Amino acid sequence: MSEEQEAEVAEDEATEEVEDGLQSGDFIRLDYTARTIEDGNVVDTTDPEVAEEEGLDEEEREFEPRTIVLGQGHIFQSVEDDITGKEVGDEGHVTIPAEEAFGEYNNEEVKTVSADKIPEDERYPGAHVNVDGEHGHVETIIGGRARVDFNHPLAGEDIEYDYEVVGEVEDDVEKAQGLISMFLDADLEMWIETDEVEEETVVEPDEDDEDAEPETETQTVEKETLYIESTPQLAMNQQWMFQKQQIAQQVIDQLGLDRVIVQETIDGGGMPGMGGMMGGGMGGGDVDLEEALEDADVDEDEIVEELEAEETEE
């Protein structure tokens, strides 16, 4: 074997060694608990036992392993680096310095503002407030002035992060559910279908025909589509209302889909007391017009006179 061939083999082996284990782009289920090093306060956890010990509100969310995508900034960079190359079932402990976690504490971010900028029911020490587009918490209020700390509540805190890689996600629907759960705490029904869709495409004219103009033709194309069954909770979720385009785009990019369709299903039944009128209007059932006019408190003679007047004008 020549020196050149030996170098190529060595390079291939090095590449294989680097790519062993979990890599950027892999979907994994991660169990973790993050605490402040100084006080040991829980910053976040997926462990229901830890949540119960700490008295965290279990009604607001489910404590279970989360689906994340390596290389997408879903977790602290130090933790991501530690996971890369490991296997399902591996555990780890990472210390995250304050500057990487929630930033160093900045005394200049503690500011005095007019109390008028704070709603009356939030003018007390400890209240979380938004002032001029910045989020902070009130330290003190004296007279018409308020002292507000705009640092992150965990600024200056080093964090310790214990984790276990409990699984790798292969199913595309489960991947989509995991991605969306990063933004929304909602249990949504979803599925993926390949749809045939008609699209108009532009056909360029023959280059030899200078007077020809581009034409369009209809083609049938296949689109890989994620369907999401909407719920009242989803429709009223503010984060979804303001960020649904970005959330859907991330799902499309990560899963290689063509589109996301959110659909709403409305069961029949109608509103109480409106069955007869709705049925008549939609082609089902008969309506007694005289009775309907009486119920609606409408004078039928007035309606006839108005119609006759309109015909005369015409």
| 227-256 confidence digits (pLDDT tens) | 999 988 888 888 888 999 999 999 999 999
- Per CATH, domain 172-204+214-263 is 3.30.70: yes
**Which two three-digit tokens encode residue 71?**
């290389």
Q: Which class is 11-101+157-168 in CATH? A: alpha beta
Calculate the alpha carbon distances from 62 to 52, 65, 228, 247 in Å.
12, 9, 20, 21
- What CATH topology corresponds to 107-149? Thrombin, subunit H (2.40.10)
Enumerate the CATH 3.10.50.40 domain ranges in the chain, comma separated.
11-101+157-168
Nearest partner of 169 among 156, 158, 178, 157, judged by Cα: 178
Enumerate the CATH 3.30.70 domain ranges in the chain, comma separated.
172-204+214-263
Q: What is the mean pLDDT of residues 153-174?
A: 95
Calculate the alpha carbon distances from 242 to 134, 148, 176, 231, 250 in Å.
18, 27, 19, 16, 15
- The CA distance from 88 to 3, in Å, is 38
Enumerate the CATH 2.40.10 domain ranges in the chain, comma separated.
107-149
Beta carbons of 194 and 164 less than 8 angstroms apart: no
Q: Which tens digit of pLDDT belongs to each residue from 292-314?
A: 445 555 555 665 566 666 555 55
Nearest partner of 277 among 266, 299, 292, 297, judged by Cα: 292
Beta carbons of 179 and 72 less than 8 angstroms apart: no
